[in-house]
Structure 1
Amino acid sequence: MQSTETSAWQGEWERGQVRRRPRTVHQRAARHLCSSCGRISPKKLPHCPTCRSVCYCDRECQRAHYYKGHKEDCEEFLSPPLDVTFVTEPIEGEKYARDPIFAQHHQDGFGCWVSIKTSPHCELQLLANPTRANKDAHPRLPGDPGVTLDDLDNCNAHASNLLTLQVLVQNRRKDKKTGLVIGSQSRVVSFGKSTEDVLKGKTTVDGVTTFRLDEQLFASVPVAYDPFDKEPRLLVKNVDGIELKEDTRPPPAVKNAEKGILALRPGQYAILQMQYRVGDGGSIRKDWTALRLVQTLTLPVIVPWEEDRSLTAIEADFARDHAKSGATPLGMRVMFDQDAVQEFFKDGIKGGDEAHIRSHYGEKGVKKYDRETEEAKRKSLDIVKEFRRRGGTLEEALVFQLGAGMTDEALLTLLHWEED
């Protein structure tokens, strides 16, 4: 039974005339819908304080839902918290979720869900782009302060090779203890059969190591290091539903934003965006080809965190252990669901970019992609002209653009990498 009271957002939702961003409407609808009785409230409802994935009208509904099965769902980390930036189910009539879950695990009262930061053409990211990029950001070019052609070549900066993952981690411990997350020491690990492919794109700055297990060789790929910014390529995107922009003051849970070090109390969660050099800019340049090569994400989580040592020392210990020859990656191990990867990208795998864009973004998305492709070609010429203006020869410009793997798709990634 629904309340007779309606609000502006509810009327728009029912009529299908929603004017707000779909993610925002989804969150508003979810936070106004009781998970127990199904009643819609004109006011935002309180959520389960442990998981934040369900909402209730009152304590009676909360108690009834708890004994109907939410107790087990909550303890088993069935669903991530409701968040406008981590929408794991299709909304607004879409066929696919905006943030599909490709890996999920929980251990010692901490849950972890792994999705992807992708683009319409599913091209892997470039080191030449700043980590926190938007429509006003510019790719690094030879002649920029502290940037030479050799610098860019040595780290293959203009090749599509960075896999960008979004990782939501949440503390649901019952003992009320805080846990410490060390994002900078995360790794993705290859299959034994894919180790050679992962190593193909190895650069002078990516820090990839190998280890043996059961007579098989595996590659351990750390969070990519940015030699220009001199820090890991990661962002703390969100803490407890609050998006952290470039000028946002980090909340107390963020102990070190540059290294993704978080202290989460029970019920708290955070979303990290982290990049890993899995691709090679050639045959491995798409999100799905990179994801096929990795079996596990590891993320160090210390629970409980006793605050008896400095964060610098703790992070340094993990870095030192990971740097040892043959060392296995440390932390919570979250296995990728290759069937889920295949299902999400199947249209692109079978039919190419246009098929993927049509199934995920519709006809409007295809037309927009066509426009951006033409714009990317135009800007490609502008980049070459700028390169030559700075003293590069035409031959060097062509080597820079094409030899580094800057196809039309790579240029789109280079020029149209924007925040949601």
Structure 2
Amino acid sequence: MSHSVRRAALGVARDPWDDAPRLIIPQFNAVPLTKDPLRPPCIENAREGVVRLEKGDFVVLQLQFRVGDDKTIAKDWQALDTLESTALPWSPWDGVLAPASLDRALPTVESAPAISFGPMGGRSLRAPFDHDAIHRYFADFIEHGQDACMRSRLCAGHADLADKINDSVLTMGDKLLKRIADDGGMHLLLERLRECGRHDIVAKFQ
């Protein structure tokens, strides 16, 4: 008897503070992009990650997904190991139709487009994750732990510096939380954490 693999479709995480997808477009045709409002005209909507590409163009997207439970899935390689593929919706564009009007013509992983534009209809570009490559890249981490991984990729001095920076960040985080609590903003912080789905962190404060 064969056992089917259970799958779930995850969209890009949405930031409750900015009410926008957790994504950035850091590069277009090998040119780094800044947060300058005067972006190239090919970036139709930086907030939503809408880009217009001509033949030969390419863009780098950084997307954030919620993968993990802080227990069985708490490390980068564990999260990557759960992902089968990523899919980006796209559509041919005639340069006339408003890009926003193409939204309903784009497919999702779970469903076909809401409307059809025929040859101009939306499609899905899928890229599978290479799990063998993931395991090779994180082999020292998986087999020997985070400290060994840091020291195998950095010199001992840099690894120690990274540890100190991490400790400093944690200390700063504690100070920031204390300041939020002293200013009476803890209720708002917990509300935002719940909206992010971080009930595990909320539980630590209650």
State TM-score, norm by structure 2.
0.76
Offset, 1:376: 2.6
What's the counterpart of residue 172 of structure 2? 379
Counterpart among 67, 76, 80 of residue 291 in structure 1: 80
| Preserved CA contact (<8 Å) 2:150 2:159 | yes
Number of aligned pairs? 185
Deviation per residue, 1:163-201 (Å, 9 max, x gap):
xxxxxxxxxxxxxxxxxxxxxxxxxxxxxx8xxxxxxxx
What's the counterpart of residue 338 of structure 1? 131
Deviation per residue, 1:69-94 (Å, 9 max, x gap):
xxxxxxxxxxxxxxxxxxxxxxxxxx
Give the secondary-structure state (helix, strand or coil) at the position aligned to 1:264.
coil
Distance 2:156 2:60 in 1: 31
Give the secondary-structure state (helix, strand or coil) at the position aligned to 1:331.
strand
What's the counterpart of residue 311 of structure 1? 99
What's the counterpart of residue 179 of structure 1? none
Higher share in helix: 2
Matched to 2:86, the amino acid is L
Equivalent residue runs for 1:14-413 within 5 Å: 217-247=6-36, 249-302=38-91, 304-318=92-106, 322=108, 327=111, 331-391=124-184, 403-404=200-201
Offset, 1:279: 1.7
Offset, 1:250: 1.3
| Preserved CA contact (<8 Å) 2:25 2:60 | yes
Matched to 2:73, the amino acid is I
Alpha-carbon distance change, 370 to 217 in structure 1, aligned in 2, over 3 angstroms: closer
| Preserved CA contact (<8 Å) 1:348 1:355 | yes
Which sections of structure 1, spanning at least 5 residues, go unmatched?
Answer: 1-192, 194-214, 408-420
Higher relative contact order (CA 8 A, sep 6+): 1
| Preserved CA contact (<8 Å) 1:279 1:290 | yes
Offset, 1:403: 4.5
Offset, 1:248: 5.2
Alpha-carbon distance change, 278 to 328 in structure 1, aligned in 2, over 3 angstroms: farther
| Preserved CA contact (<8 Å) 2:89 2:108 | no
Q: Please tell me whether Structure 1 or Structure 2 has the larger radius of gyration of its CA atoms.
A: 1
Distance 1:281 1:340 in 2: 23
Matched to 1:314, the amino acid is L
Which sections of structure 2, spanning at least 5 residues, go unmatched?
Answer: 114-122
Alpha-carbon distance change, 227 to 349 in structure 1, aligned in 2, over 3 angstroms: same
Deviation per residue, 1:107-127 (Å, 9 max, x gap):
xxxxxxxxxxxxxxxxxxxxx
Give the secondary-structure state (helix, strand or coil) at the position aligned to 2:64.
strand
Identity of aligned residues (%): 28
Alpha-carbon distance change, 259 to 388 in structure 1, aligned in 2, over 3 angstroms: closer
Matched to 1:234, the amino acid is L
Matched to 1:226, the amino acid is D
